[in-house]
Amino acid sequence: LSQALVKEEIAAKEYLENLNKELALRTNVDTEAAWAYASNINDENEKKRNENAAELAKFLKEIAADTQKFNWRSYQSEDIKRQFKFLTKLGYAALSESDYKELLETLSSMESNYAKVKVCDFKDAKKCDLALEPEIEEIITKSRNPEELKYYWREFYDKAGTAVRPQFEKYIELNTKAAHLNNFTSGAEVWLDEYEDPTFEKQLEAIFAEIRPLYEQVHGYVRYRLRQHYGNEVVSEKGPLPMHLLGNMWAQQWSDIADIVSPFPDKPLVDVSAEMIKQGYNPLKMFQMGDDFFTSMNLTKLPKDFWDKSIIEKPTDGRDLICHASAWDFYLQDDVRIKQCTTVTQSQFFTVHHELGHIQYFLQYQHLPFVYRTGANPGFHEAVGDVLSLSVSTPKHLEKVGLLKNYKQDEEQRINNLFLTALDKIVFLPFAFTMDKYRWSLFRGEVDKSKWNCAFWKLREEYSGIEPPVVRTEKDFDAPAKYHVSADVEYLRYLVSFIIQFQFYKSACIKAGQYDPKNPELPLDNCDIYGSAAAGKAFQNMLSMGASKPWPDALQAFNGERTMTGKAIAEYFEPLRVWLEAENKKNKVPIGWTASDSK
């Protein structure tokens, strides 16, 4: 037997080599069709996309059946066993042909609904062509009129969420069916399986519990400052925060209201949006600067195809498209693209780096077999560009590139900056956790259908301490008003990313000689890794592994660690935590929140 097995393993190796090439080519065709649809939503493109997806699913099913003739679980090579294991994961392709077709139609119906939402102007009922990007987002971030904000909130949630309730029910049903066909108890376990660690959910709960007290301090302080700004009628002393006042449609990051909640209002806020416009920045320049950051660290330059094929500005020809920023790998050599309706703002500048992080990952692992051309886990893929954004957002870097002028960093200014970062990075954690806690509970059948909407707001209240501006009932259905829920994108990746990016950043800063815990002149929150070949090398070591090894091996290749921890993010925000706790105590600011009375 062992002689025969050795022989079979040699044949299996060759089988995999050919199969990986074939899979890359077929996935490329499928991705082209998906790209054509996402950048121009019409019936013909949708039909082509769905046909291509069905074609690929059929092929994957054939392969899964094919692999059963190999005794791969008994092979010697860990690598060959890992490749086979990946090939047996069928996902939705496990569904019958008719179920798969129905699932595709359900998903494209939700995603195109989200992309096509248009609402009427609050001030002019006859003007009804406002899209989320850019019009509604601009109002949500800039308006300080509670009635106007409430109006856009309701309009958007009704159209982006409630409208797709029937499709969402069908999606949950088919997702569950596919999970069972893949021998998982539910879709929640399918998603969690990507992290290759049965204790993963528990680990995240523990890390989240460590960071939660800091979130509660930020939350309490923001509520206290919003009361000063809007008055006690609009914001209660101890209740959840009215989410329409937080500068973001989903209240997932609150940095856009920094101007009214900043700890030291007399000190300038680091927001270079106006300066970018003044200096004639455009989307192209923003992407060129992102490219320059990667190459300064000796990482890979963006290839010609990227510039030729990407869509980095919203087309003006009136077509519908998915504006939600995304990075795409076409599984050939150097065919990588971004689709983003870029606007010239500081936060979009960070988004550019985030998306370019995905692209760098694609380029670093493109030499690997197809099954390994993905992140060590979904969170790693999201974290890469964010590490650079943390660096780009420092006063040190913004001064270097001439966007920040006459700036003096003192202790008050430092607290302002840390608070600004916390409004994005700390505030996001409970939001991200609830996006998947909610969907897990539906996948696992833990919530009765008659309580689906209520369960969503209960979770958002329990974890984030926020509430909708108007009473919601079971006649409403609000979760799909978030893009990733309508588009069936797992969200735990972002929670993992926001924790682990600080681990990466801290190590990169030490490697770059930019952070020394013993030297107050080199704090973590003003570390710029631009131009550091040492930090670049660490990235290359990790990114070039793709998914060829479990993620602790990839983390180890980066910095020698093997576990995800909340230590680095806590270290980064420690000066803010100390200041906030003292400040909240001094002002007798209530911490935590009572239950929402009406929502």
Strand pairing of 466-467 and 241-242?
Answer: parallel
55 is in an annotated binding site: no
* 3-class state of residue 356 by DSSP: helix
Q: Is position 195 annotated in a ligand binding site?
A: yes
244 is catalytic: no
Residue with tokens 């509970």, as numbered in its chain: 441
d(CA 257, CA 253): 9
Does the annotation place 354 within a ligand binding site? yes
Return the bridge partners of 327, or none: 338
Residue 23's contacts (CB-CB under 8 Å, 6 or more residues apart) are 63, 370, 371
Q: Which whole-number Å values give the CA distances from 476 to 111, 288, 437, 455, 457, in the listed order?
A: 18, 43, 20, 12, 11
Amino acid letter for position 328 = W
Is residue 240 within 8 A of residue 465, CB to CB? The reply is yes
Considering the candidates 137, 355, 461, 467, report the single residue annotated as catalytic: 355
Alpha helical stretches, state H, 40-96? 43-67, 78-88
As a 3-state breakdown, the chain gives helix, strand, coil percent values, each rounded to 5, of: 65, 5, 35
Question: Binding residue per annotation — 399?
Answer: no
> Is 353 assigned a ligand-binding role in the annotation?
no
Task: Cite the DSSP H helix spans in 444-530.
Answer: 452-464, 483-486, 492-511
Q: Is 14 a catalytic residue?
A: no
User: In terms of Cα–Cα distance, which of 140, 234, 233, 168 is closest to 481?
Assistant: 168
Task: Tell me which DSSP letter residue 76 carries.
Answer: S
**Amino acid code (one letter) for 94:** A
Q: Could you tell me which residues come within 8 angstroms of residue 233 by beta carbon, excluding any fewer than 6 positions away? A: none
Q: With contact defined as beta carbons under 8 Å apart, do 269 and 335 qualify?
A: no
Query: How many Cα neighbours within 13 Å face the side chain of 25?
Result: 7
497: Cβ contacts below 8 Å, ≥ 6 apart: 379, 380, 381, 382, 383, 386
Q: Which of 219, 324, 397, 484 is catalytic?
A: 484
Beta-bridged to residue 467, according to DSSP, are 242
Q: Which residues pair with 118 in a beta bridge?
A: 131
Instruction: List the catalytic residues.
Output: 355, 484
Annotated binding site for Zn(2+): 354, 358, 382
Annotated binding site for chloride: 195, 493
Annotated binding site: 195, 354, 358, 382, 493
